[in-house]
Amino acid sequence: MLKENLAKVKAKIAEACRRVDRDPGEITLVCVTKGVEIEKIKEVVSLGIMDIGENRVQEAFKKYNELQTTGYKLTAKIRWHMVGHLQSNKAKYAVRIFDLIHSVDSFKLAEEINKQAERINKIQDILIQVNTSGEKTKFGIEPKGLFSLIGEIKKFKNLSLKGLMTIAPVVLNPEDARPYFRKLKELFDEFNYLTNHPLTILSMGMSQDFEVAIEEGANMVRIGRAIFKGSK
């Protein structure tokens, strides 16, 4: 079932790309494994998915260590993504595991990640999470504060800002998520127009809306449920 689900997701990615004349090879599929057991992670990696996303540091740390201690042969090839909200007090653990942190949304959090990355002599790749919907329940910086935060983050020597991320509201019709993805793409393009150091990653779209996100410019999608549903 997992293999079939993954094939369907990839086909939908390809079809979304075809509709807007994009190359499916531009799209990075991050497989979100929240609540997924180790054997299923190994299975999806064996199917060629090397980008693994986790929502919680504690769960990720446990899985990361288990793969390391069991000597799993593909461990070194896995790229770990922090896709959930990150608390400042968990930054010291996050920098040890994650290749890319998607959810930086404040100067305070960026400052702490930089400090912890410096301690282990690491340049930590990050994305800024933007709350394009304005929902009070969503994490992320407001669009009006984005460029100021980028300027502050650029000063940190142990952070490398790669791009932007957003989470659209949960809607019945994926089309209703389109304005929130379009807003992030506009911010992405506006910043890149003004700088000599452009951002490269636009992380948006999940199981319920990734096709619309791709049509609006996403080059990284975060998908869990559509891959693991019905998989036992």
Domains of the chain plus CATH, in order, are 2-228 (3.20.20.10)
> Does the pLDDT of residue 226 top 80, yes or no?
yes
Measured N-to-C along each axis, helices 38-46 and 2-19 cross at an angle, to the nearest 10 degrees, of: 50
The pLDDT value recorded for residue 70 is 77
Per-residue model confidence as pLDDT tens digits over 111-125: 999 999 999 999 999
The pLDDT value recorded for residue 160 is 98
> Which residues does 178 contact at the CB level (< 8 Å), separation at least 6?
212, 215, 216
Per-residue model confidence as pLDDT tens digits over 55-106: 999 999 999 999 888 777 888 899 999 999 999 999 999 999 999 999 999 9
Contact 194, 229 (CB under 8 A): no
For residues 171-184, one letter each, b for 16 or more C-beta atoms within 10 angstroms of the residue's C-beta and e for the rest, the string is: eeebeebbebbbbb
Per-residue model confidence as pLDDT tens digits over 5-25: 999 999 999 999 999 999 999
Specify the amino acid at residue 229.
Answer: K
